Structure 1
Amino acid sequence: MAKGYKDLLAEAEAVVTSVTPAEAAALREDPGVVLVDIRDPRELEREGVIPGAFHAPRGMLEFWIDPESPYHKPVFAEEKTFVFFCAGGLRSLLAAKVAQEMGLKARSMREGFGGWKAAGLPIAEKAARG
């Protein structure tokens, strides 16, 4: 039988370390850590962004991580810990698992951007494109 998303999340939860929004906020000051926002660009424009976070849309993540890809982003070649986040923590859990499988030191932020916002942590506006 095929796996459902709950199966995939359970597998990811078993191997990915997750941090709370407050822990992620503290890690933001660490030069060895990069917060990675995998939300869709429209979500960023609508909800705002975490200042200093790197945006890597979920649909491009594997291509941006792989140094052999024509879409590779140099930030992912750095010896850093990457803390992935989305709106609520589910997509970023799966993304962190993939990033780990691709050789990165990856974490996931529980509760995602929604938890960050609910905790009253800093948010900046993202200007609309075009």
Structure 2
Amino acid sequence: MFKLSSILNRGLSVEDAIEGIGTGTVTVIDVRDHAEVRSTGKATGALHIPLARLQDMANPSHPDFHDGLRTERSIAVYCASGGRSMAGKQILRKLGYRDVHNIGGLGHWVKAGGKVEPV
């Protein structure tokens, strides 16, 4: 059986992200908009940084930098289905983050056994 990450060639599986968020080695970012997150909740422990704000909030020199981001951790990005998280991955890579992975959508998180918390 293939892991979803192998099929999508992402490197870090959703299962790895779930384990890593629990051990503090992975930062998970939800790039969906506020209405989506309010409607469905977000992955337990994930940071919510909407894609439209990611360029600023992931830039350490910007006043709106989110201090929850750590360059020494792997970063796993998700959205509703994987499209916006791919754009988020590209933004983070351009900002100098090296270990960044698109783990798809919130549904992939849930299917892999990840918990969801209300917002």
User: Which consecutive residues of structure 2, in runs of 5 or more, have no partner in the other structure?
Assistant: 1-7
Partner of residue 102, structure 2? 108
The one-letter amino acid paired with 1:69 is: H
Structure 1: runs of 5 or more not aligned: 1-12
Runs of 4+ residues deviating >4 angstroms: none
Aligned Cα root-mean-square deviation (Å) = 2.1
Find 2:41's aligned residue among 30, 44, 48. 48
SS at match of 2:106: helix
Match runs of 1:1-130 below 5 Å? 17-104=10-97, 105-110=99-104, 112-126=105-119
Q: TM-score, normalised by structure 1?
A: 0.73
Whether the aligned pair in 1 keeps the contact of 2:20 and 2:26 (CA below 8 Å) is: yes
| Partner Cα separation in structure 1 for residue 66 and residue 45 of structure 2 | 16
**Partner amino acid, structure 1, of 2:110:** K
How many angstroms apart in 1 are the aligned matches of 2:108 and 2:36? 15
CA distance in 2, matches of 1:93, 1:22: 18
TM superposition shift of 1:120 = 4.4
